[in-house]
Amino acid sequence: MKKVRGFAIAKGYEDKDIHIPVRKTKNSAAYDIEAAEDITIPMYHPGIKPTLIPTGLKAYCQDDEWYMLANRSSGPKKGFVMANSIGIIDSDYYENETNDGHFMFQYYNFSDHDIEVKKGDVIGQLIFMKFLIADGDNATGVRKGGFGSTDVK
């Protein structure tokens, strides 16, 4: 079977009982993503950095596709919000040399207490998308790393 789009376990998480994401209904646009480990998201204060929550997953898709990481609708009600609003991950992130394509969610906690995330808690959603290219586009760059690497010269 030719791989078109889907999920795999990231290196280092093979023996951690990571669940491959599923859609919950036949009309769901998104795949629910679980936390790969227990983690605490500290209450927000000025100067705090977002908390990265490992998923233990990597995702693959076609060259003209990308995938979006998005908060769950219940996230803000619980006090946590994605630091970057949405995550945009390119197809060439998969199996990159820096982190194997392991994608993570980054959150701030705006509640009045620390939030405990447990392994297996659904922490966000992933949606596969197509993209279009503008006339005259001639991008030839090659990804050299993982998180935040597309602007590294």
Tokens of 20: 């491959």
Question: Is residue 137 a part of any domain in this protein?
Answer: no
Q: Which domain holds residue 109?
A: 8-130
- Confidence (pLDDT) at 86: 93
* Overall pTM > 0.85: yes
Residue 36, judged by CB atoms within 10 A of its CB (0-12, 13-18, 19+), counts as buried
- Confidence (pLDDT) at 116: 96
Question: Is residue 152 a part of any domain in this protein?
Answer: no
Task: With CA atoms as reference, report the closest residue to 70 among 112, 117, 103.
Answer: 103
- Confidence (pLDDT) at 153: 52
Question: Is residue 149 a part of any domain in this protein?
Answer: no
- Confidence (pLDDT) at 152: 52
Question: Is residue 50 a part of any domain in this protein?
Answer: yes
Helix ranges restricted to H, 24-147: 75-78
Question: Is residue 3 a part of any domain in this protein?
Answer: no
| Residue appearing with tokens 């596969």 | 128
Question: Is residue 150 a part of any domain in this protein?
Answer: no
Average pLDDT per run of 10 along the chain, which is 153 residues long?
94 98 96 98 96 98 97 85 93 94 96 96 97 91 61 51
Question: Is residue 140 a part of any domain in this protein?
Answer: no
Q: What is the number of structural domains in the chain? A: 1
* CATH code where residue 54 lies: 2.70.40.10
Residue 122, judged by CB atoms within 10 A of its CB (0-12, 13-18, 19+), counts as middle
